[in-house]
């Protein structure tokens, strides 16, 4: 039984990304069994480590939830890529790697002289995966971006929030996660192409363009009609609004053919479930009112479960506690427990898809430079006693 | 129990040895020393040595030694927010000690003049390679260059070979010591008068101070002391011994080496006229033979207890750690550390009959950031989280 | 460009409907896979027949009356594919499908969990026919678990995933609903299959990928889950991002026009002062530090808003970007369609659709330096390649194909029930 072979066994990935997009993609590779080495600046490491809250009594920068989430499963080394020696060590690692992932600022790779041309020279088979805001070429080339600004320009933001108030972004890191998932795909595809071509290539991904593509309906409308009709949730309305349950919000999304079942669930007269098309809005209002009363009388989870039990699409607004307690997530083993030397025990989501033997065991995220001795030793033959000089020179 | 500097808050800024050493001593005396480190940490965290040679910013011996009895806060002084927080810390402190390029704090709006405007009792001690003025002020420097410029290097080593630097960083440690004493003086004056001042310490001058004797000799006689006139240590069974025999020691020394029943020698008894060094030189073979019959400890103890002459063995590290003398005085301090094994550190060489020293381990990077901000600023928890997220603390 | 497309030689039977499934199919097709959109005349992709779809010139039927081939939502995400329309409920159709499975590498489906087994096309059956088959079931909540049978739309998944909890104004319980789970699911599926292909190469065995769109969406707020488990209380941030002060949208000239600005350092603030031509603000003690900018937020917002209100959002963005500040105009679809950056990048791709005429669609967000990624053929008409596929892969002759057509096992027009079109929940 080849149970030790994971999907990406044998692939070595160098993660020189910072914050979210690059490291998120790199973590997906780690979950799938690649050997992922995260390379951080010496000293404070990746600025993602500054995002808290930090655990009392832990080392600085080792216990922030965002870092813990994004860098699970990787080995961690430090290299000052701006120094001659640091760059040289990096290129020696590139020569032994399959994929390099980055999401640095525009022009930064070139400034450090580690752009694709430089990498290709030391390893013609390496795939460089660049997750960028706007890509190269075009009026916005060189623009810097944050999650807020990427979400803002990508199209979704225009419809969000209430008229009269600023548009509001989606929480978490939607633009970057959306991009990283697809960029990871494109990277694996480029890696696969090596079998036929014998060489690597540069994969460049634009987060902005991915957001635009993800805003599909509006883009098709404007392409076909010249403008968006706004038929689906214009700004200022939430379209299918939620209902208020005892402990939070829920939503019941009955379509026309599900109305009869909904009416029955609510104990409403049957006619309300099959309204006269001439009188639909009044029926709808009454049904909505009954739904509101019904929902206010039960927990959000009960609204969800009871509507779903009669095949009416429904949901509830799940907070992190709900996710951790979710029977669905528990059953599927989506959330893992992990022990970490600085943070203690915490929960972390795994991959959102699975098959037998697909996922590597969860491994704690590294301290800054934790694997310097191991990686530089095993891969580059650098002896331990040479490390202090490298540290003193600020290279590691 | 009270300590001399209880209630005194000291802010330490910059990096390297002298300010850290100075502030360690202030900390042992009871001051609350707040060490401000850049987000990457003090450079001494990178200099090691490290257990098993594996670099770890929390296990650098140099850092652990120099920074006991302190709390650590990270502040990025390149940012306006960091500079503003620094001002708030200093406003609650009696003393600021720093080591860096001349004017580095002033360039960030944190020079003494500016800080003292709202805090006239502030004592600022600045330690720089050459001092705050003069033609060398902005020159780059290191231990070896300062030792060379300070005159100490020229007289160390052998005349036929290149000059030699003394081991370790005595120039920087001396500067720390001078900063320590001057700071205490300025603090006393400030407490009495309500007015602080700027204490300007030059590492170079501290170095030169420690061998002023040669300078005075030169001024007096015109003679330039030449290196290589020191004596060679004498090999024993397991190490080296040396003797510093002066005129009045010589008879005892001769008896020690040649035996109590050695024939008297007129020349050696002539206290006024004898040529001690020549006489000692004539005994070279006997000295060697005598020493090789003994271990270094035996030679040392015999020389001291039987002949009452200044004798010393060349102590290696283990000898120092095992020494019954240091042990009797409780000189070494053993401290635990959350990241590594417990280590012995040198304590303070002075004992005060009315005070017992307290020794605490060096802090982790930024270990006390939140605690200090809560004590000395009015930042809310949210504000602290934001400043942290921006990497300023 | 020298290399062939990376997934050439991989064949996918894409049974996906609506958005996430076909989206994933398009990703594989773009990379060169032979993606066969497996449809059915009796149960076409609901987006082919939806009541309020998007049609060229608002004219569903068009010159040929084949509205099922003119749906914008279908044409947007099914390019580079061939279409086979086959009735899987008929024994002959099922048999043909199974034969195709033996010529395929991947079967992708996103029906509700009962459908494939009820068609006798569960993974057990398919893998018997083809032990090297990779099947991917792109489910809203996965194939297993107490809620796996529940039906949900994108908005429902957004709520269930944790995204809604964190999306919206901090002072308002309502959340924004922005339908990201579908493209997230498509991307997740694309990745899973790429990884599955590599796994299969190593083990020689097929596999069944069980993908949950709800779990995929949870990844967007995964750090909040970690924070919660450590005893934290992650909360809605609105437009704020930690460490950026301020971080928000500011009104610009015109109606409901905004520019988003992230001031991520004291340096950014100094440059903002420069950008708005008020350098004296750099030393204004109210704003010089993060703490000050937070404590004087109201004044700060008014100050910035006064400047932004005088400019259109595009200009505000460009002025700030010139000084290295992260700023972006909140663009509406029309502005995006005309956006000069996207045009200069050649992002929009023009195709002549099967029945919808020449249209422009979004292109691809990834560029591979050695490989010509992108659109090659437009979205196929329903069943457009029935004969080509069955002839090429199964060697079927015209007479046999004629018979299949006559029996409605294959076809090119929807066969709808008396109640008309249906939009079935996934």
Q: Find the closest chain C residue to A166 by CA distance.
A: C249
Calculate the alpha carbon distances from C355 to A172, C55, C60, C172, C380 in Å.
Answer: 40, 11, 11, 46, 9
- Report pLDDT for B269: 65
- Report pLDDT for C93: 97
Mind listing the pLDDT tens digit for each residue in C275-330? Answer: 999 999 999 999 999 999 999 999 999 999 999 999 999 999 999 999 999 999 99
Please provide the size of chain C in residues: 426
Select from B259, B280, B313 the last residue of a domain.
B313
Residue B138 lies in a domain: yes
- Identify all chain B residues contacting A388, using CB atoms and an 8 Å cutoff: 47-50, 53, 55
B145 plus B58 within the same structural domain: yes
Neighbours of B350 (CB within 10 A): 10
Question: Average pLDDT of C94-118?
Answer: 95
- Residue B213 pLDDT > 70, yes or no? yes
- Residue B352 pLDDT > 90, yes or no? no
C93 plus C44 within the same structural domain: yes
C74 plus C210 within the same structural domain: yes
- Report pLDDT for A56: 87
DSSP-assigned letter for residue C58: G
- Identify all chain B residues contacting A54, using CB atoms and an 8 Å cutoff: 388
Residues A178, C151: C-beta atoms closer than 8 Å: no
Mind listing the pLDDT tens digit for each residue in B247-305? Answer: 788 888 888 988 888 777 766 666 666 666 666 677 888 899 999 999 999 999 999 99
Select from B278, B313, B348 the last residue of a domain.
B313
The answer to whether A286 touches C186, Cβ cutoff 8 Å, is: no
CA distance, residue C386 to nearest chain A CA (Å): 27
Q: Of C369, C367, C403, which is closest to residue C387 (Cα–Cα)?
A: C403
What 3-state class would DSSP assign to A222? helix
C28 plus C136 within the same structural domain: yes
Q: What is the pLDDT confidence band of residue C412, given thresholds at 50, 70 and 90?
A: very high
Residue C235 lies in a domain: no
**Any idea what the CATH number is for the domain that residue B123 is in?**
3.40.50.10540
B58 plus B119 within the same structural domain: yes
Neighbours of B312 (CB within 10 A): 16
Residue C402 lies in a domain: yes
Q: Of B29, B67, B18, B75, which is closest to residue B45 (Cα–Cα)?
A: B67
C172 plus C252 within the same structural domain: no
Cβ neighbours of residue C122 closer than 8 Å, sequence gap 6 or more: C116
Max mean pLDDT range (B156-160, B329-333, C382-386): C382-386
B306 plus B335 within the same structural domain: no
For CATH 3.40.50.10540, the residue range(s) in chain A are: 12-214+333-392
Question: Average pLDDT of C17-31?
Answer: 95
Q: Of C160, C201, C216, which is closest to residue C23 (Cα–Cα)?
A: C216
Cα–Cα distance, B255 to B250 (Å, whole number):
9
Max mean pLDDT range (A97-106, B165-174, B209-218): A97-106
Q: Say which of C27, C162, C172 has its CB closest to residue A320.
A: C162
- Report pLDDT for A185: 98
C371 plus C322 within the same structural domain: no
A1 or B206, which is more confident? Answer: B206
Tokens for A348, please give them. 């972390």
- Report pLDDT for B355: 85
C266 plus C324 within the same structural domain: yes
Omega prior to C246 cis, within 30 of 0: yes
Mind listing the pLDDT tens digit for each residue in C353-389? Answer: 899 889 999 999 999 999 888 778 999 999 999 999 9
Q: Report the CATH number of the A12-214+333-392 domain.
A: 3.40.50.10540
Mind listing the pLDDT tens digit for each residue in B17-53? Answer: 999 999 999 999 999 999 999 999 999 999 989 999 9
- Report pLDDT for C424: 38
B245 plus B144 within the same structural domain: no
The pairing of beta strand B32-37 with beta strand B70-74: parallel
- Identify all chain B residues contacting C269, using CB atoms and an 8 Å cutoff: 80
C166 plus C293 within the same structural domain: no
C331 plus C352 within the same structural domain: no
- Residue A394 pLDDT > 80, yes or no? yes
The total of structural domains in chain B comes to: 2
- Residue B211 pLDDT > 80, yes or no? no
Cα–Cα distance, C93 to C408 (Å, whole number):
10
Catalytic residue, from C182, C248, C268, C353: name it.
C182
- Report pLDDT for A285: 84
The total of structural domains in chain C comes to: 2
- Report pLDDT for B99: 96
Residue A147, H or E segment: helix A147-153
Q: Of C191, C258, B253, which is closest to residue A184 (Cα–Cα)?
A: C191
Select from C338, C355, C390 the last residue of a domain.
C338
Calculate the alpha carbon distances from A256 to A110, A271, A274, B386, C53 in Å.
Answer: 57, 13, 8, 48, 16
Residue C272 lies in a domain: yes
- Residue A241 pLDDT > 80, yes or no? no
Phi-psi region of B214 (alpha: psi -120 to 50; beta: other; left: phi over 0): alpha
Q: What is the pLDDT confidence band of residue A274, given thresholds at 50, 70 and 90?
A: confident
C86 plus C171 within the same structural domain: yes
B181 plus B264 within the same structural domain: no
Residues B390, C244: C-beta atoms closer than 8 Å: yes
Residues C288, B80: C-beta atoms closer than 8 Å: yes
- Report pLDDT for A229: 75
Identify the domain containing residue B145 by its residue range. 9-212+328-389
Residues A219, C336: C-beta atoms closer than 8 Å: yes
What part of C 275-304 touches B (C-beta under 8 Å)?
A: 288-292, 294
Q: Say which of A43, A60, A388 has its CB closest to residue B53.
A: A388
Residue B321 lies in a domain: no
Residue B228 lies in a domain: no
Residues C198, A192: C-beta atoms closer than 8 Å: yes
Radius of gyration (Cα) for chain A, nearest Å? 25
- Identify all chain C residues contacting B383, using CB atoms and an 8 Å cutoff: 290-291, 294
Cα–Cα distance, C166 to A172 (Å, whole number):
7
Mind listing the pLDDT tens digit for each residue in B167-206? Answer: 889 999 999 999 999 999 999 999 999 999 999 999 999 8
Q: Say which of A44, A60, A392 has its CB closest to residue B47.
A: A392
Residue B30 lies in a domain: yes
A320 touches chain B (CB under 8 A): no
pLDDT above 70 covers what percent of chain B? 95
Q: Is C256 a catalytic residue?
A: no
The pairing of beta strand C348-353 with beta strand B311-313: unpaired
- Residue A2 pLDDT > 60, yes or no? no
**Any idea what the CATH number is for the domain that residue C333 is in?**
3.30.1540.10
Residue C414 lies in a domain: no
Identify the domain containing residue C216 by its residue range. 11-220+347-406
Question: Average pLDDT of A289-314?
Answer: 95
Select from B313, B338, B367 the last residue of a domain.
B313
**Any idea what the CATH number is for the domain that residue C395 is in?**
3.40.50.10540
Select from C303, C338, C373 the last residue of a domain.
C338
C105 plus C138 within the same structural domain: yes
A54 touches chain B (CB under 8 A): yes
Residues C291, B387: C-beta atoms closer than 8 Å: yes
Q: Helix A174-197 and helix A21-31: axis angle, to 10°? A: 60
Residues A388, B385: C-beta atoms closer than 8 Å: no
Task: State residue B249 phi and psi, 5-degree precision.
Answer: -85, -20
ipTM of the complex: 0.96
Residue B250 lies in a domain: yes
Residue C226 lies in a domain: no
Residues C264, B391: C-beta atoms closer than 8 Å: no
Mind listing the pLDDT tens digit for each residue in A315-349? Answer: 999 999 999 999 999 999 999 999 999 999 999 99
Residue C1 lies in a domain: no
Residue B292 lies in a domain: yes
What part of C 235-274 touches B (C-beta under 8 Å)?
A: 242-245, 264-267, 269-270
Question: Average pLDDT of C179-197?
Answer: 96
């Amino acid at each position: 039984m080849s149970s030790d072979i994971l999907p990406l066994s044998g692939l070595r990935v160098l993660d020189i990304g910072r914050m979210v997009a690059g490291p998120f993609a790199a973590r997906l590779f780690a979950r799938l069994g690649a050997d992922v080495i995260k390379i951080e600046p010496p000293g404070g490491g990746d600025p993602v480590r500054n995002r808290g809250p930090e655990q009392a009594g832990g080392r600085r920068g080792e216990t922030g939830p965002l870092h813990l989430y994004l860098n699970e499963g990787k080995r961690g080394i430090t290299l000052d890529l701006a120094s001659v020696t640091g760059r040289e060590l990096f290129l020696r690692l590139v020569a032994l790697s399959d994929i390099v992932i980055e999401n640095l600022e525009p022009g930064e790779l070139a400034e450090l002289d580690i752009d694709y041309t430089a990498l290709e020279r030391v390893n013609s088979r390496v795939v460089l995966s660049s997750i960028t805001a706007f890509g190269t070429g075009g009026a916005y080339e060189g623009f810097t971006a944050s999650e807020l600004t990427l979400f803002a320009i990508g199209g979704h933001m225009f419809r969000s929030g209430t008229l009269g108030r600023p548009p509001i972004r989606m929480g978490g890191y939607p633009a970057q996660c959306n991009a990283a998932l697809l960029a990871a795909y494109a990277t694996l595809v480029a890696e696969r192409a090596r079998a036929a071509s014998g060489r690597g290539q540069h994969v460049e991904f634009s987060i902005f363009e991915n957001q635009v593509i993800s805003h599909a309906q509006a883009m098709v409308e404007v392409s076909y009609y010249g403008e968006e009709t706004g038929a689906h949730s214009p700004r200022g309305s939430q379209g299918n609004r939620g209902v208020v349950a005892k402990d939070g919000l829920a939503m019941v999304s009955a379509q026309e053919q599900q109305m009869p079942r909904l009416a029955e669930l609510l104990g409403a007269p049957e006619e309300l479930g099959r309204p006269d098309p001439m009188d639909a809005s009044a029926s709808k209002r009454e049904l909505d009112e009954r739904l509101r009363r019904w929902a206010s009388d039960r927990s959000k989870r009960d609204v969800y479960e009871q509507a779903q039990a009669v095949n009416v699409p429904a949901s509830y607004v799940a907070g992190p506690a709900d996710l951790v307690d979710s029977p669905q997530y528990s059953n599927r083993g989506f959330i893992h427990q992990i022990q970490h030397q600085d943070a203690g025990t915490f929960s972390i989501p795994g991959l959102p898809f699975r098959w037998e033997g697909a996922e590597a065991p969860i491994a704690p995220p590294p301290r800054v430079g934790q694997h310097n001795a191991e990686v530089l030793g095993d891969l580059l033959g650098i002896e331990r006693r040479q490390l202090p000089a490298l540290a003193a020179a600020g290279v590691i | 129990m009270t300590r001399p500097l209880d209630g005194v808050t000291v802010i330490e800024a910059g990096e390297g040895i002298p300010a850290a050493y100075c502030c360690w001593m202030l900390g042992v005396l009871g001051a609350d020393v707040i060490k401000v480190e850049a987000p990457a940490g003090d450079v001494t965290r990178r200099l090691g040595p490290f257990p098993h040679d594996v670099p770890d910013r929390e296990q650098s011996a140099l850092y652990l030694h120099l920074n006991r009895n302190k709390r650590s806060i990270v502040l990025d002084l390149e940012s306006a927010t960091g500079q503003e927080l620094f001002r708030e810390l200093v406003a609650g402190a009696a003393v600021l000690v720093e080591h860096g390029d001349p004017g580095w704090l002033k360039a960030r709006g944190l020079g003494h003049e500016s800080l003292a405007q709202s805090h006239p009792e502030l004592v600022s001690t600045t330690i720089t390679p050459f001092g705050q003025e003069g033609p060398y002020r902005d020159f780059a420097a290191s231990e070896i260059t300062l030792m060379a410029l300070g005159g100490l290097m020229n007289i160390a080593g052998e005349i036929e070979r290149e000059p030699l630097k003394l081991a370790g960083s005595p120039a920087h440690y001396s500067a720390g010591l001078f900063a320590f004493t001057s700071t205490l003086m300025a603090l006393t004056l400030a407490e009495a008068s309500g007015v602080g001042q700027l204490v300007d310490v030059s590492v170079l001058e501290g170095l030169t101070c420690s061998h002023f004797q040669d300078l005075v000799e030169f001024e007096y006689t015109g003679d330039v002391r030449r290196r290589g006139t020191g004596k060679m240590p004498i090999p024993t069974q397991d190490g080296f011994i040396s003797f510093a025999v002066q005129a009045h020691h010589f008879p005892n020394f001769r008896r020690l080496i040649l035996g109590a029943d050695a024939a008297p020698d007129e020349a050696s008894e002539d206290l006024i006229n004898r040529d001690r060094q020549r006489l000692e030189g004539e005994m070279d073979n006997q000295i060697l033979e005598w020493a090789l019959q003994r271990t270094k400890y035996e030679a040392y103890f015999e020389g001291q207890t039987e002949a009452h002459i200044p004798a010393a063995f060349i102590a290696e590290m283990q000898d120092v750690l095992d020494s019954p003398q240091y042990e009797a005085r409780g000189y070494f301090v053993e401290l635990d550390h959350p990241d590594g094994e417990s280590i012995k550190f040198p304590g303070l060489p002075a004992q005060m009959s009315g005070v017992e020293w307290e020794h605490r381990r060096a802090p982790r990077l930024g270990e006390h950031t939140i605690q200090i901000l809560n004590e000395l600023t009015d930042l809310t928890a949210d504000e602290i989280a934001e400043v942290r997220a921006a990497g300023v603390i | 460009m020298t290399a062939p497309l990376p997934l050439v030689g991989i064949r996918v039977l894409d049974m996906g409907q609506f958005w996430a499934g076909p989206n994933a199919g398009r990703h594989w097709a773009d990379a060169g896979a032979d993606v066969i959109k497996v449809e059915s005349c009796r149960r076409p992709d609901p987006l082919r027949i939806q009541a309020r779809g998007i049609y060229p010139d608002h004219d569903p039927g068009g010159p040929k009356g084949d509205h099922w081939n003119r749906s914008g939502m279908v044409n947007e995400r099914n390019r580079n594919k061939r279409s086979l329309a086959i009735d899987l409920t008929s024994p002959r159709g099922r048999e043909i499908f199974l034969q195709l499975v033996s010529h395929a590498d991947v079967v992708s489906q996103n029906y509700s969990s009962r459908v494939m087994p009820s068609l006798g096309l569960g993974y057990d059956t398919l893998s018997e026919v083809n032990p090297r088959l990779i099947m991917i079931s792109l489910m809203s909540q996965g194939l297993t678990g107490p809620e796996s049978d529940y039906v949900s739309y994108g908005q429902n998944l957004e709520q269930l995933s944790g995204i809604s909890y964190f999306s919206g104004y901090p002072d308002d319980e309502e959340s924004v609903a922005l339908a990201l789970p579908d493209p997230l699911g498509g991307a997740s599926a694309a990745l899973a299959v790429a990884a599955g292909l590599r796994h299969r190469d190593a083990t020689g065995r097929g596999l069944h990928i069980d993908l949950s769109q709800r779990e995929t969406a949870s990844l967007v707020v995964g750090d909040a889950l970690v924070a919660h488990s450590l005893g934290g209380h992650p909360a809605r941030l609105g437009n704020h991002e930690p460490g950026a002060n301020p971080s928000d949208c500011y009104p610009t000239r015109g109606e409901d026009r905004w520019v988003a600005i992230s001031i991520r350092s004291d340096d950014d603030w100094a440059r903002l002062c420069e950008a708005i031509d008020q350098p004296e603000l750099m030393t204004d003690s109210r704003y010089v530090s993060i703490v000050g900018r937070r404590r004087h937020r109201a004044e700060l917002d008014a100050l910035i808003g006064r400047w932004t209100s005088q400019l259109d959002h595009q200009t505000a963005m460009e002025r700030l970007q010139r000084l290295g500040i992260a700023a972006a105009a909140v663009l509406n679809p029309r502005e995006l369609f005309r956006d000069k950056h996207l045009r200069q990048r050649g992002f929009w791709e023009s195709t002549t659709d099967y029945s919808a005429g020449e249209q422009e669609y979004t292109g691809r967000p990834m560029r591979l330096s050695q490989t010509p990624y992108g659109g090659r053929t437009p979205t196929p008409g329903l069943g457009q390649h029935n004969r080509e596929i069955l002839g090429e892969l199964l060697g079927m002759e015209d007479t046999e194909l004629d018979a299949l057509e006559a029996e409605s096992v294959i076809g090119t027009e929807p066969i709808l029930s008396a109640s008309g079109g249906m939009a079935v929940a996934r």
